[in-house]
Amino acid sequence: MDFFKRHFFVSLFAVLGLVVVAYLGSQAASLQVFFGVVVPYLAVLIFLEGLIYRIIVWARSPVPFRIPTTAGQNKTLPWIERDLGEQLDNPATFKHLVGRMALEVLAFRSLFRNLRTELRKDPADPEGDRLIHWSYKWLWLGAIAFHYAFLVVILRHLRFFTEPVPMPFQLLEHVDGFFQFFTPAVYLSGVVLVVAVFYLMARRITSPTLRYISLAADYFPLLLILGIGISGILMRYIYKVDIVAVKELALGLATFHPVVPAGIGAIFYVHLFLVCVLFAYFPFSKLMHAPGVFLSPSRNMVSNNRWVLHVNPWNYPVKFHHYDEYEDRFREAMIEADIPVEKES
Ligand code: HEM
């Protein structure tokens, strides 16, 4: 089996296996407590513990260098002006750093600047190739659609866990369900979520270069989220479940008075189980890029190394030889060799 097939099909069968486990488990009334209460609590526990553990490990790691990635003129002599874009790309103050992080987190700015590079046939020289770069926005669009749709779906789901449902969530539900083509109203975010995940996976599969760098750890979360989205859509529009009973179960979990109402429907347990696996898997996966962006030294540091000394926390005591000491020692020889000196004597 070739590289792509091995990584893709292992992930696909893993997700299908989870679906089968949840489906079969929900058929046995005695296991519904396990799938409806034990698994969700366990998943949240693993999620929180894993998340906190990894954040603590990252936060405690020494950052030996001041290494912000910059894409604009650094602050320099007063008459060299910098526009707002440069101030955000090369933040010299905390205010601009916050602006940069906000654009990164809320608008995926660095992905927006994504370039594609390819060798293409050179029309001027049929024998040769030409290296071309062009601005490629589709990945940014797919990523932003996916992340915002995911956020809206999660916020909307909070109606299951709250009573009364807070006003902002109700409003979100009305706006999201604006397109009332069918009954029940189609939630745009659910559809966008599934379409965006399909696109993000299709690009990995169809591009030979992406296929070559994609592992099971890349396909598995995409397929898992796809499974969650598809099972949710099936549950809402085709295999209806008892929403009142779902809410009873969700509220029970949220208030630590778990109950498992009878007759919710197997598809709900499949959906819930996949969500639980996603939560438990999160801290051990690439999905940690979400909290990781805040702890990334190349993003979260002010670019002030021209005027602030950044001390490496790993430094052991070293006797420094400062320039004035050096010049004191070699001044005579420097003057004789016509090397400029700061002090004449
Ligand atoms: C990562 C978390 C989750 C994601 C991404 C997700 C995704 C979805 C999606 C895309 C739908 C289709 C309809 C819509 O757009 O709302 C849906 C429906 C549904 N989900 Fe989830 N879900 C998640 C967590 C949960 C949890 C924890 C529960 C348990 C209470 C749940 C229960 C349901 C139910 C009952 C429906 C049918 C809704 C209806 O008929 O109105 N989901 N989900």
Please report the DSSP string for 175-195 in residue order. HHT---SSSSPPPHHHHHHHH
Domain identity same for 322 and 310: no
Q: Are residues 249 and 326 in the same domain?
A: no
What's the pTM? 0.88
- Domain shared by 336 and 281, yes or no: no
Ligand 1 atom with the shortest distance to the CA of 276: 27
Residues 330, 244, single domain; the answer is: no
pLDDT in tens, 229-259: 999 999 999 988 999 999 999 999 999 999 9
Q: Which one of 271, 272, 276, 281 would you pick to mutate in the ligand 1 pocket, going by the greatest count of ligand atoms within 8 A of its CB? A: 271
Domain identity same for 9 and 146: yes
Find the residues whose C-beta lies inside 6 A of ligand 1. Answer: 150, 153-154, 156-157, 160, 187, 189-190, 193, 228-229, 232-233, 235-236, 241, 243, 246, 250, 268, 271-272, 275, 278
Q: Are residues 284 and 320 in the same domain?
A: no
327 alpha carbon – ligand 1 mean position (Å): 71
* DSSP 8-state symbol, 34: I
Closest C-alpha to ligand 1, atom 41: 236
Q: What is the CATH number of the domain that holds 126?
A: 1.20.950.20
pLDDT of 185 reads 82
Q: Are residues 246 and 208 in the same domain?
A: yes
Mean pLDDT, residues 321-333: 93
- Same domain, yes or no, for 252 and 121? yes
- How distant, in Å, are the alpha carbons of 13, 73, 100, 258, 274 from that of 95? 48, 17, 9, 46, 40
Find out whether the peptide bond into 184 is cis, omega within 30 degrees of 0: yes
* pLDDT tens string 159-173: 999 989 999 999 998
Are both 61 and 150 inside the same structural domain? yes
Residue-wise pLDDT tens digits, 198-225: 999 999 999 988 999 999 999 999 999 9
Please list, in sequence order, all residues whose beta carbon lies within 8 angstroms of the beta carbon of residue 80, skipping any fewer than 6 positions away.
73
Q: Which atom of ligand 1 is nearest to the CA of 160?
A: 30
Residue in the structure block whose two tokens are 């909070």 = 158
Length of the chain: 345
Q: Which domain holds residue 325?
A: 315-345
Q: State the average pLDDT over residues 300-319.
A: 87
> What letter does residue 320 receive in the DSSP assignment?
-
Q: Are residues 258 and 339 in the same domain?
A: no
Ligand 1 centre to CA of 292 (Å) is: 26
269 and 182 co-located in one domain: yes
Instruction: Give the residues across from 121 on adjacent strands.
Output: 129
| Burial classification of residue 197, based on how many CB atoms lie within 10 Å of its CB (0-12 exposed, 13-18 middle, 19 or more buried) | buried
Nearest CA to ligand 1 atom 39: 236
Of the candidates 234, 316, 246, 252, the one whose C-alpha atom is nearest the C-alpha of residue 64 is: 316
Best residue among 153, 183, 267, 269 to mutate for probing ligand 1's pocket (most ligand atoms within 8 Å of CB) is 153
Domains held by the chain: number: 2
Q: What is the pLDDT of residues 4-37, one digit of tens each?
A: 889 999 999 999 999 999 999 988 878 889 999 9
Q: Which of 4, 14, 5, 3 is nearest to 221 (CA)?
A: 14
The answer on 176 and 245 residing in a single domain is yes
